[in-house]
């Protein structure tokens, strides 16, 4: 089992494409719940425009909590799936699809209920009906259970429930995705006192009873200690930093820059220090992840997104072009904006005296 200790702009989507293309089973977060996705690929290929595709059977199993009861739902489908990539909220390309979709999203949906309303089909009455005994084993039953789990105020499994059901959840998983969320905007982030701060949004950390303490359950730790734990980084520090500045709005959830104006000329002098702090913070994330794992006796290895082999590290027989999810394709018609970001990055690299070839240390 591989465990990908990811963070913003660290190749998570690329690895998801890779895993699906190779028919791997994935464990990831769905709100506060565990989603296991099993894929059987019948055919695969590349379109004339260069998009990878698969024709596959897909089985999704969502694990959740209902009071003191451990519950799950399962749905299946078979279809042709294409892999598309468009950068989210790109500064260099101000017409990026991510920003457009976000603006449309704000206009149409109440943000307080947006996540809960995602993909909701059934009313409360429908859910009550289709989770009855007469529908057990049917697709309607499983879809209703899945929507019920998602609608349960995103309730965590909790330490004991995850610990007791570790084998069921992690069985047959090839790649576990976990996102190491860090709060760039706060020097005293939420959960620091209780063991969450560095991974404040990680679903592997679970609350112990009604206390404020969060830990990885012991049975999960045992799985992680036997797994291939992978920390990604980019050795090409220049391209890494350009992509990070380009994604500043997206990575910071638009906390500073809702309208993609962070680098406009009249704001440049004011914001360059903020951008440099932002780059400093994220440059050291692989090292912080390594420290987090070391404290828990979890072995790990670094993975260079620019040079290391996906086949050798993750398994699989099929490769996906390393640049398939690179932002640079969307920048071609915006050379002036690219040069502005590139000049800022060169200044940051010079002031920090960073090597052109970076390794975490």
User: What average pLDDT does the chain have?
Assistant: 83
Say if residue 83's pLDDT is above 90. yes
Residues 331 and 42: their CA atoms lie apart, in Å, by 35
Say if residue 230's pLDDT is above 50. yes
pLDDT for the residue numbered 117? 52
Tokens of 213: 């303490």
pLDDT for the residue numbered 191? 45
Over residues 197-221, mean pLDDT: 80
pLDDT for the residue numbered 93? 81
**Range with lowest mean pLDDT among 35-49, 50-64, 105-119, 143-157:** 105-119
| Predicted confidence (pLDDT) per residue in 259-271, tens digit | 555 566 555 566 7
140 pLDDT band, cuts 50/70/90, is confident
**Range with lowest mean pLDDT among 49-63, 158-172, 241-255:** 241-255
Over residues 239-248, mean pLDDT: 90
**Range with lowest mean pLDDT among 162-166, 194-198, 237-241:** 194-198
What is the distance of C-alpha 71 from the center of its chain? 24
Residues 77 and 38: their CA atoms lie apart, in Å, by 11
pLDDT for the residue numbered 173? 97
DSSP string, 169-236: HHTT-SEEEEE----TT-SS-TTGGGT-GGGTT-TTSEE-TTSS-EE--HHHHHHHHTSEEEEEE-SB
Say if residue 65's pLDDT is above 70. yes
For residues 94 and 35, which has the higher predicted lDDT (pLDDT)?
35
Which of 21-35, 92-106, 260-274 has the highest average model confidence (pLDDT)? Answer: 21-35
For residues 176 and 95, which has the higher predicted lDDT (pLDDT)?
176
pLDDT for the residue numbered 37? 96
Residues 300 and 278: their CA atoms lie apart, in Å, by 26
For residues 190 and 353, which has the higher predicted lDDT (pLDDT)?
353
| Predicted confidence (pLDDT) per residue in 286-342, tens digit | 998 999 899 999 999 999 999 999 999 999 999 999 999 988 888 888 888 899 889
Q: Which of 359, 325, 329, 328 is nearest to 18 (CA)?
A: 325
Say if residue 201's pLDDT is above 70. no
Residues 90 and 84: their CA atoms lie apart, in Å, by 16
Burial class of residue 238, CB neighbours in 10 A (0-12, 13-18, 19+): middle
Total-model pTM = 0.85
Query: How many other β-carbons are positioned within 10 Å of the β-carbon of residue 72?
Result: 18
Query: How many other β-carbons are positioned within 10 Å of the β-carbon of residue 75?
Result: 14
Burial class of residue 337, CB neighbours in 10 A (0-12, 13-18, 19+): middle
96 pLDDT band, cuts 50/70/90, is low
**Among residues of the chain, what percentage have pLDDT more than 70?**
79
Say if residue 52's pLDDT is above 90. yes
């Amino acid at each position: 089992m591989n465990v990908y200790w990811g963070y913003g702009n660290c190749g998570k989507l690329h690895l998801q494409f890779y895993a699906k293309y190779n028919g791997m089973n994935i464990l990831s977060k769905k709100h506060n719940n565990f989603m296991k996705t099993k894929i059987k690929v019948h055919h695969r290929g590349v379109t004339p425009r260069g998009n990878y595709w698969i024709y596959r059977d897909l089985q999704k199993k969502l694990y959740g909590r209902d009071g003191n009861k451990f519950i799950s739902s399962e749905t299946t489908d078979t279809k042709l799936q294409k892999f598309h990539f468009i950068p989210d909220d790109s500064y260099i390309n101000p017409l990026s699809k991510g920003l457009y979709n976000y603006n449309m999203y704000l206009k149409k949906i109440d943000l307080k209920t947006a996540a809960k309303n995602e993909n909701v089909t059934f009313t409360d009455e429908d859910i009550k009906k289709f989770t009855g005994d007469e529908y057990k084993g049917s697709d309607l039953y499983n879809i209703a259970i899945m929507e019920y789990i998602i609608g349960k105020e995103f309730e965590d499994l909790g330490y004991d429930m995850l610990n007791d059901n570790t084998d069921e959840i992690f069985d047959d998983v090839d790649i576990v995705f976990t996102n190491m969320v860090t709060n760039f905007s706060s020097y005293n982030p939420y959960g620091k006192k209780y063991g969450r701060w560095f991974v404040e949004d990680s679903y592997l950390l679970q609350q112990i009873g009604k206390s404020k303490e969060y830990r990885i359950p012991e049975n999960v730790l045992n799985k992680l200690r036997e797994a291939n734990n992978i920390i990604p980084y980019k050795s090409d520090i220049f391209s890494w930093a350009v992509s990070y500045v380009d994604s500043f709005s997206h990575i910071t959830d638009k906390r500073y820059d809702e309208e993609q104006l962070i680098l406009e000329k009249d704001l440049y002098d004011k914001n360059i220090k903020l951008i440099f702090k932002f780059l400093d913070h994220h440059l050291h994330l692989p090292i912080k992840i390594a420290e987090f794992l070391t404290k828990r006796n979890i072995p790990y290895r670094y993975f260079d997104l620019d040079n290391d082999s996906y086949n050798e590290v993750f398994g699989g027989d099929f490769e996906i072009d390393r640049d398939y999810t690179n932002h640079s394709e969307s920048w071609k018609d915006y050379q002036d904006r690219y040069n502005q970001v590139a000049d800022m990055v060169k200044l940051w690299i010079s002031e920090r005296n960073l090597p052109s070839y970076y390794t975490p240390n």
